[in-house]
Each structure stands twice: as structure tokens, then as C-alpha cells.
Chain A
Amino acid sequence: MSNEAALDDLRATLTEGGRLSDEQVRNLMLKTDLLSLGMLADDVRRSRHGETTTFVRVAEVPVKGAVSTELRGQAMELRIIGVPDSPEVMVSAVRLAAEAGIPVTGYAVHDLLEMSNGDMALFRHLLDELLEVGLAAISELVVDRTPEPESVVSTVVDAGLAISRVTIHEASGDKRIGFLKAVAGWTLPDRGVWAFAPLPRAAVVSEPEAPPTGYDDVRQVALARLLVDNIGSIQVDWALHGPKLAQVALTFGADDIDAVPAVDAVDLGPRRTSLEEVRQNIRAASFVPVERNGCFESVM
């Protein structure tokens, strides 16, 4: 099959909502040039989300930190960060944050499991307590740190919670693609996971000389859009990846921007605020910005 015919074949399968065969995935990886891949991913993204790109302004709250009331109206998600010493601290941090009246997310699934000593009954009990004090969703499920992710997600959903995003902590080369395939293979309950953030969050310690390039990153985003059809949103991180890459990733299949700072860390002076900047970036990429909250609800 010629490259063009292979592309048409891929496009037909994807726009009909079908899953790619192993051979099609191989073609995608080995034979498709970057811009064709981007076009395919953009087609699929537009068929699922139209022109809408969502974004969320997040205020990170240290697990033992106080929550400023001034965040109301600025943050649409309070995200508790850090690993607490005990389940009690975990619960009280959520209770405190919830008083601000902003959706609260926090913690990674593997930390909750560790806090429960791997005991699923204790894990479920902890989830119930967190829900009761106001947790809207668990911040993340880290693919490379969470054993048996499918059953964990089921337990979370049974408890009435959801997982805000699936992330990859650290991976390079083939391993990055391997995680995409793994996530695509999961059977997930409806709306159990809201977003997948396919770009690894940390540099690979053993490969300090070879950080991922722009090609690596947008290819990963596009492949995530094309392979992972069991999670609604493909997400990029404004703070972690920077406005430019995050924006370009929107044209390669991403539809959600996470971690726009609720409060600008520095005085931007005559520059724009992050809110203006993210909206401008989304529009300049030919999409329509829609602000959402930590529950993935539009707040327009």
C-alpha cells in the first residue's frame, strides 16, 4: 500500500470511530510523517470535540498549607499537592480546602494505595472519607506507578469519585509509545477518567543528554489522540510544557489545557495575564477557548 493509500485507510477507520489494527498502528508509527500524523489527529480531535478547547486555572495547595480565600474567582480547581504522613492528614487537607467553595482535587492513586498498605478495603474506606469531606476527583493515576489500574479505577468510580487525569511519570523512546498502547487497552467505566496527559512529566534520569524533542512530544500527543479512544480528553500542561508547546500540541490532537496558573507567579507587568494568554493561544490555534473547573464542567 502506498503511503497515501495507507493514510486514507487510517483516516477512514478513525473518522468512522473504529479502532486501528496492529498493522495500521505500525504504519502510523513507522511511515507517517509528522504533519500527516498531525492532520489525522486533528481530524479525530475535531470529530470528538469540535472547535472547543477547554482549559482550567489551577491553584496548587500544599497538603499542609492554608487556602487563601482570594483564590475564589481566580482558581477553578484547587489541587492538593504533596504526600501526607497519614490518612487523617489527607482527609483534613481536603476538608480545609473544600471550605473555599472551589472543586478540590488531590493525590495520586499510588499514594492512596500506599497509605492503605495496598489493602483494597482500606483504600475504599479512604476514598469514602475523601468524598465525604469534599474531594471532587483524584488528581492523577500515574501509569508507570500504579499496579492493576483498571480495577483501581473501578473501585474509585464505585466510591463515587473519578480520576482527573492519567499521567506518565517518566519514559522515553519506545516506552512512551508502550504506555499509550497500554492505556488504550484498558477497559474503563464511563467517565471514570476524564483526561489523559501523554507527555511524561519528568526527565528520564538515566538519559539526561537526550530530553524529548518537539517532534517527540507532538508525535506522542498525536498518537495518544489516535490510539487512546477510551478517555475523552487528551491533555497538555501549560505550566509544565510552556505556552508555546502546549499551543502547538492543540493542533496535534490535544483538546484540554491543564495547570494554567490561577495566580500569576511573577508580576507580568505590561504583559498579559495567564488567563488572557491562554485564551489568545487557543484562538490563534483556530479553536474556541472554554474555561472549565476541576470537575470538567464548563464555567462560562
Chain B
Amino acid sequence: MNPQTVDEIARKVGDGGRLSRTEALTLYEQAPTHLLGCLADEACARRHPSGIVTYIIDRNVNYTNVCVAKCNFCAFYRPVGSPEGYVLGFDELFTKIDETIAVGGEQLLLQGGHNPDLPLEWYEDLFRAVKTRYPSFRLHALSPPEIIHLSRLSQLDVPSIIERLTDAGLDSIPGGGAEILVDRVRRELNCYSKASASEWLGVMRDAHRVGLRTTVTMMFGTVESLDERIEHLMRVRDLQDETGGFTAFITWSFQPSNTERGGMEATGVDYLRTLALARLVLDNVDNIQASWVTQGGKVGQLSLSYGANDMGSVMIEENVVRAAGAAFCMDELEIVRNIENAGFIPKRRNMHYKVLGDPIVQQREVPRMTTLAQARAANDHSVPEELVRYRARTPSGKRQRVQH
């Protein structure tokens, strides 16, 4: 270790200076974990001096698990024609929204597989139906690769897809599917074809241009080098300099169970170091979220000392990382307790990270949620009625609709 260099870089960041790529790499490789934590903690406190830590009550719903992308790190998807494939019906989604509203939620995080049998009109009708029934309910929906999939499916460019979805009720775009924004890595993860790094960033640029706010994610711990992990952060920072449209950065480690890729999961210390580095590199992104869903409640809470200022979502439902072996659950009471225990002030927020108020649990009785709901019961193979109205493209999709 060269303490002089780390010390110099630490001083520079402490003074609010911007990290270069080389400096970021030196810090990650050489700085002791507590030093990284302290620097990130200070940077976070400079940006959020009020000591508030936010969270959102929403529901993470995966409308379909049928996917043609076949990313090799994914344990969630099922191929077209699989008996385990599902598409949720509009009524099922309404029930989930009712349950979300009952515990104080006002947003759905809606993402799913790239299902060739769901045309653009299905999404438009769904969004319109949600907005008709629940006018103030928010839709944080469809990550960039899903938008690219719809663009390819409907032969329309990305801005047109965003425009049509926004007209139908889309409020903001989640930053999923970013993985590592380096094409070498994306090719190895078999996710280059769903969206190259520039395509992913291009969707976000288009979204930001029309005034949509989005989040951005990073899944680390697969095949990327540290340098490539930092390249990802640099690309995010560059786009944020250009558009200012990212509300928050969320990182988590690859969950290997039940995936084709398999292998090792990055450790808790790797996670905390990566989180801290993200806070330091992304000096233009306000909010850094803790991923307690993948790290567990304890390391999730510790994230608040390593640069995070947001505890993410009170998870009502989760299907994707659960399929890969992580199934931690925290309801609002537990999230609030963890924030207070760490010495911060818990506040509810919306998807734009605007503070909405104090915790619901401090205002009224809310049922405890100690287990995560799933998209569907394992043995439920029902096909939603409204699907017959939409044109299927695959032979199995067509067969399914005829039988119905």
C-alpha cells in the first residue's frame, strides 16, 4: 500500500474534489474499509445534512417471467412455452395494488421478462387501466432493456415507445438491466443483445430528455474487473452530468444460486466497499440506496455508514433475487427501527425521492408483513382472460390463446 497516495486522494475527496478513474481504482484497491466508509459517510452527510434516511412503500411486481433474453445470471426467467411461464392478469395486478395501498404504498415497481407474446398495446392498456382505477397511483415501470425489447417488437424507435408509454401512464423508469455498462462484460453475461451499454444509456438519455426521472443500478460480482466496475460508475456520472435525470443509484451483488452462471457471491465487505466507492465517484447523484434485499437486514443497515441515505423499498413482493436464493424481508416497522437504531431520522418518500412524511406505522396500525409475497402461487398456471385480445407472436403463445 502506498499510504501517501491514498491519503492524498482521501484529502481530495474530503475537500469535495472529483475522483478520476485512476484515483477511484487506487482507493478501491488500497484504502482500508473503514477509511472508505468514513469518506463516503462524510460525502453523504455533506449532501444530506438533515440526517434523514428515506424509504418507499411500494410493491415490486414482475408481470411476466417469460423471457427471450436468457441472461446467464438470471434465475427468474422461463423460456417461451415453459409450463412454469406466467403472465399476470390485470385483475391480479389490481389486487396487488389494493394490497399495496392498504399498507400505505402508492407506487408499483413493474418489471418483467422480454415476453414476445405481449405487444406494446398490452402495456398501454394495462397502464391506462391502472390510472383509470387509481388516478394518483404511480407506475415506476419497464427498465431500459424492456423498452428496447418493445421497440424491436413494435418496430418503433425508443423515443416513440417512451412517448406512448408515458401517454398511457408511465411515471418513471427503473434503472434495472444495467448490470455492468461495459460491453465485454455484457457479452459474457449474455445480456449484450438485450441492450448494449450505449443502448442502455441511450434509453435513459431519451427518457431524461422528455422529463422522466429514472434510477440507475449496478449488479457487480460476476466477471467484471475492478476497472470495469469503475468504468460503469464513470459512464453513469457522465450521463448524469449531461442530463441530471438520475434520482438514485442502487447496487447489489450477483446472486448465484439457481443461475446458469453459478459461482461465488461477492462478500459483504465487497458490497460495502463498492457502495462507498459509488457514493464517492457519483458526486452528482443525490441518493444512494442500500440493498438489504441481497445483503440481509444487518449489512443492509450498515450501508447507512458506508454512503447510503436510502433504505429502498418496504418489500411487499419480490421474485427476481428470491429465485436466486435471497429472500430477506423487512416491513415498514422493521425498516424504521433499523434507520432509527443507526441514528438517522426515517422519512417516507415517493419515487422522485421527495419526502412525503413520517412513517405510516407511527400514524396508524399497519398489518405486519413478515414474509414476501410472490408474483403467483407456484401451482397457479391460469391464463388471464384479457390476453386473447392481444396478438401472440410465438407458436406456443398462439396455441395458448386458441385453447383459452
Contacts and interface: CB of A to CB of B under 8 A. Distances in A.
Whether A and B are associated in the same complex: the answer reads yes
Interface of A: 33-36, 38-39, 42, 209-210, 213-218, 242-245, 247-248, 250-251, 269-272, 276-277, 280-281, 284-286
A42 B34 contact: yes
B280 to A, nearest CB: 15
Contacts of A285: 33, 267, 269
B298 A244 contact: yes
Contacts of A251: 33-34, 269
Contact of A39 (B34, B295, B296): B34
6 contacts: A215-B342, A245-B296, A247-B267, A250-B269, A277-B264, A286-B33
Contacts of B262: 269-271
Interface stretch (B172-180, B186-194, B300-308): B300-308
Contacts of A248: 268-269, 272, 298-299, 302
Nearest to B257: A271
Contacts of B270: 284
Contacts of A277: 264
Contacts of B271: 244
Contact of A286 (B32, B37, B337): B32
Contacts of B333: 209
Interface residues of B, number: 33
B267 A243 contact: yes
B198 to A, nearest CB: 32
A2 B403 CA distance: 76
Taking each of A35, A216, A272, which has the highest tally of chain B beta carbons within 10 Å of its own beta carbon?
A35
A215 B341 contact: yes
Given A35-B34, A271-B256, A284 B267 contact: yes
B41 interface: yes
B38 interface: yes
A87 B265 CA distance: 45
Contacts of A39: 34, 38
Contacts of A272: 263-264
B268 A244 contact: yes
A76 B19 CA distance: 46
Contact of A244 (B267, B305, B338): B267
Contacts of B337: 210, 213
A42 B302 CA distance: 17
B267 A215 contact: no
A13 B289 CA distance: 38
Interface string B302-316: 100100000000000
Given A35-B34, A245-B268, A270-B263, A213 B257 contact: no
A299 B342 CA distance: 40
Nearest to A42: B34
Interface in B270-295: 270-272, 295
B297 interface: yes
Contacts of B41: 35
A284 B269 contact: yes
A287 to B, nearest CB: 10
Contacts of B305: 33-35, 215
Nearest to A40: B34
A135 to B, nearest CB: 35
B189 to A, nearest CB: 15
Interface in B223-273: 256-257, 262-272
A250 B270 CA distance: 13
Nearest to B259: A270
Nearest to B258: A269
A220 to B, nearest CB: 12
B196 to A, nearest CB: 27
B392 to A, nearest CB: 34
A7 to B, nearest CB: 12
Contacts of B298: 213-214, 217, 244-245, 248
A250 B268 CA distance: 11
B79 to A, nearest CB: 20
Contacts of A245: 268, 296, 298-299
A140 to B, nearest CB: 23
A141 to B, nearest CB: 26
A213 B296 CA distance: 11
Contacts of B342: 34, 213, 215
A215 B302 contact: yes
A214 B302 contact: yes
Given A35-B41, A214-B298, A271 B263 contact: yes
B330 to A, nearest CB: 11
B292 to A, nearest CB: 9
A56 B270 CA distance: 23
A83 B96 CA distance: 49
Contacts of A242: 296
B223 to A, nearest CB: 14
Contacts of B267: 243-244, 247, 280-281, 284-285
Nearest to A218: B302
Contacts of B33: 251, 285-286
B269 A247 contact: yes
A214 B301 contact: yes
B268 A38 contact: no
B268 A213 contact: no
A56 to B, nearest CB: 19
A270 B262 CA distance: 5
Taking each of B266, B272, B299, B300, which has the highest tally of chain A beta carbons within 10 Å of its own beta carbon?
B299
Given A245-B296, A276-B264, 6 more contacts: A35-B305, A244-B271, A251-B34, A284-B269, A285-B33, A286-B33
A71 B365 CA distance: 52
B299 A213 contact: no
B44 to A, nearest CB: 12
Given A213-B337, A216-B341, A284-B269, A35 B38 contact: yes
Contacts of B268: 243-245, 247-248, 281
Contacts of B338: 213-214
B224 to A, nearest CB: 16
A34 B257 CA distance: 32
